[in-house]
Amino acid sequence: MRKYKNLFLGLLGVFALMTSCNNQGKSSSGGALGSNAADRVYVGPGEYDEFYAFFSGGYTGNLTVYGLPSGRMFKEIPVFSQFPTNGYGYSEETKPMLNTSFGFVPWDDSHHPDISQTNGELDGRWIFINGNNTPRIARIDLTTFETAEIIEVPNSAGNHSSSFITENTEYVVAGTRFAVPVPQRDMPIKDYKGNFKGALSFISVAPETGRMDIKFQLMMPGFNYDLSHPGRGKSHGWFFFTTYNTEEASTLLEVNASQNDKDFIAAVNWKKIEEYVNNGGGTMMPAEYAHNVYDDDTHMATSTMKKEVLTVDPTKVPGAVYFLPTPKSPHGCDVDPSGEYIVGNGKLSADLTVHSFTKMLAAIENEKFDGEAYGIPILKFEDVLAGVVSQPGLGPLHTEFDGKGNAYTTFFISSEVVKWKLGTWEVLDRQPSYYSVGHGMIPGGNSQKPFGKYFVSMNKITKDRYLPVGPEMEHSAQLYDISGDKMELLLDFPTHGEPHYAAAIPAEILMPKVKKIFKLSENKHPYAAITPNDTKLVRDGKVVHVYMSTIRSHFTPDNIEGIKVGDKVYFHVTNQEQDFDVPHGFAMIGATNAELLIAPGQTKTLLWEPKKVGVWPFYCTDFCSALHQEMQGYVRVSPANSDLELSWSLGED
């Protein structure tokens, strides 16, 4: 009943506001929330949003950047997927970014972004995100908003309990969702139980450069590892992972993985394991995984195939790993800003279970064990329990924190967000979500210092929230104001792809660091045309390199002759502009890749393999000046046996 009463009071309040304030321009579509909500999400022309919010793209494989409170999308950053828009994954410089041990994999499923931290607070240097399908972790540079690095994660499958970072960005952590044979081998699927493994990977992040490297993989029992979060503050040095399918069923999991009354949260003392491996512990095993790095000076990516990985058997490091029994198929694993409370969102449980880090340490100290699983001690449920939020809703998935002692849990089945108090476990408020909320997000919610002004729900069912657009729809987010005692729903906004989780940061932290151009003087691309004098054509057998430059409003050269059918023509296009927001595009008719979108100071390369004789045009795709439509050129393609010399020109008819 409580929620309806609140809704009624809320409506009364809005009504009072509307009658006392007769807004002339009030639209009929304003809805029950009226002008107050409209004002609070409106960011007028020329004004800025208060927060950057980074939403995972889910099955887009990318990361999108929104402003809050407006809900406007400012950018889609290509990460794991080909992006025809700017040629990512099509241009020669970026193809290596999508290399894996399986070959060129042009798509993934990105879930959980996390912003780098220093001393447990967001520092805004990088944002990390996982690819679930072909296990990978990416690092995005938050000065350029471009993907700087991707590392593949071997021995993993369905890289879901990822990517979460420790409070000084020591590690970005990636846990397998699916257990698999390690090493992979041809074996019956029904022999899964006891034979498959679950790898939890601790990937070190170099403090200055952000460069990633797999420090070690913890080879855990073959459960499904769903989500994870770092300890922080007092629990810094630990990492917590939810598990499900502790039944180790290998078929019809919707039935067979829901048998156990409790699954586990795995508590991993990574500092202890780090010490162990620093002292020579662990086993190096053969493994094949790609490490792809983009260099902002050469404007090029390189891909290196790594050949081994250090693995750790958790039973060999006493005191490093414990299981905390947690009802029931827990999904989200969330740690409050103080580091004391570990929330297990048991998606099939009636109650919400919260563990105490302090009690956990005491239970370990006092060896309050309830048996073991594959040699890993199971702590007694009652001895680690901090408290229970009683029957708060149906299907809890994830919990966020506002830094004021409150937690906000999303409920998929009862489709609502519930605010409750840490320590008293009292439910304080609830708001419906439209519909079936997955993750929620509070800016800085995964740090010691949340910015508890807004809560964003990421909803899984869109249905009738917007004008219908056919059987396939975008997902929907909702913005709630949580600055007061009660949550207030302000806005529905569609999101791109299927965002799972998001991370947000105050604009004032990030904005001053953002790059606007690349300096031409720092361009170290081997085929760059830094000045018009660098323009040239070089033939090497059937390979032709075109060192091309572009500046408003022409290409140099704009006419090329002597290309032959069967040639491989590499157009290396340098944008010589040094003004903000003057990209140029390069498109070639019939190219079987994409365009190039070239930022000021950058060089990018398109491979073109002409198959037909003729005179073929290229042009600039980005409307760059009043004479943009004049920015074009031609390539003459002669037969393969032609003896026409390579030549180029500009301005000589």
Inter-residue contact 362 to 417 (CB < 8 Å)? no
**Stretch 262-321 residues interacting with a second copy (CB under 8 A):** none
Token pair of 573 as six digits: 């296009």
Q: Note whether 85 binds a second copy by CB under 8 A.
A: yes
Q: Note whether 431 binds a second copy by CB under 8 A.
A: no
**Residue from 313, 351, 370, 474 binding a second copy (CB under 8 A):** 474
- Closest distance to a second copy from the beta carbon of 334 (Å): 16
Q: Note whether 613 binds a second copy by CB under 8 A.
A: yes
Q: Note whether 222 binds a second copy by CB under 8 A.
A: no
Q: Note whether 580 binds a second copy by CB under 8 A.
A: yes
Whether residue 443 is preceded by a cis peptide bond, meaning omega within 30 degrees of 0, is: no
Specify the stretch interacting with a second copy by CB under 8 A; choose among 267-275, 337-345, 419-427, 492-500.
Answer: 492-500
Q: Note whether 496 binds a second copy by CB under 8 A.
A: yes
Q: Note whether 200 binds a second copy by CB under 8 A.
A: no
- Closest distance to a second copy from the beta carbon of 640 (Å): 11
Q: Whose Cβ is closer to a second copy: residue 285's or residue 361's?
A: 285
User: How many C-beta atoms surround the C-beta of residue 652 within 10 A?
Assistant: 5
Q: Note whether 652 binds a second copy by CB under 8 A.
A: yes
**Stretch 249-268 residues interacting with a second copy (CB under 8 A):** 249-258
Phi, psi of 536 (to 5 degrees): -165, 165
Inter-residue contact 342 to 355 (CB < 8 Å)? yes
Tally the residues of the chain. 653
Phi, psi of 518 (to 5 degrees): -100, 135
Q: Indicate the pairing of strand 536-540 with strand 103-104.
A: unpaired
Residue 517's contacts (CB-CB under 8 Å, 6 or more residues apart) are 577, 578, 579, 580, 599, 600, 601
**Residue from 129, 138, 153, 180 binding a second copy (CB under 8 A):** 180
Q: Which residue type occupies 157?
A: A
**Residue from 348, 363, 417, 504 binding a second copy (CB under 8 A):** 348
Size of the site for a second copy (CB under 8 A): 193
- Closest distance to a second copy from the beta carbon of 421 (Å): 25
Q: Note whether 626 binds a second copy by CB under 8 A.
A: yes
Q: Whose Cβ is closer to a second copy: residue 39's or residue 426's?
A: 39
Element housing 326 (H / E):
strand 321-326
- Closest distance to a second copy from the beta carbon of 625 (Å): 8
**Stretch 90-109 residues interacting with a second copy (CB under 8 A):** 90, 100-107, 109
Upper half-sphere CA count for residue 560 (Cβ side, 13 Å): 28
Q: Note whether 453 binds a second copy by CB under 8 A.
A: no
- Closest distance to a second copy from the beta carbon of 450 (Å): 20
339: nearest Cα among 111, 167, 529 = 167
Q: Note whether 517 binds a second copy by CB under 8 A.
A: yes
- Closest distance to a second copy from the beta carbon of 472 (Å): 5
Q: Note whether 116 binds a second copy by CB under 8 A.
A: no
Q: Note whether 337 binds a second copy by CB under 8 A.
A: no
**Stretch 394-413 residues interacting with a second copy (CB under 8 A):** 395, 412-413
Q: Note whether 224 binds a second copy by CB under 8 A.
A: yes
Specify the stretch interacting with a second copy by CB under 8 A; choose among 231-239, 332-340, 532-540, 581-589.
Answer: 581-589
Q: CA separation (Å) from 647 to 67, 185, 285, 538, 544?
A: 49, 56, 54, 10, 11
Q: Please report the sign of the dihedral spanned by the C-alpha atoms of residue 69, residue 428, residue 444, residue 263.
A: negative
Q: Note whether 542 binds a second copy by CB under 8 A.
A: no
**Stretch 156-175 residues interacting with a second copy (CB under 8 A):** 157-158, 160
SS (H, E, C) 488-550: EEEEEEEECCCCCCEEEEEHHHHHHHCCCCCCHHHCCCCCCCCCHHHCEEEEECCEEEEEEEE
Q: Note whether 650 binds a second copy by CB under 8 A.
A: yes
Give the separation between CA 478 and CA 69, rounded to whole angstroms. Answer: 10
- Closest distance to a second copy from the beta carbon of 192 (Å): 8
**Residue from 553, 568, 607, 646 binding a second copy (CB under 8 A):** 553
User: How many C-beta atoms surround the C-beta of residue 573 within 10 A?
Assistant: 26
**Stretch 23-52 residues interacting with a second copy (CB under 8 A):** 23-27, 29-50, 52
Task: Please report the DSSP string for 346-390 in residue order.
Answer: ETT-SSEEEEEHHHHHHHHHTT-EEEEETTEEEEPHHHHEEEEE-
SS3 (DSSP) at 181: coil
**Residue from 489, 509, 528, 544 binding a second copy (CB under 8 A):** 489
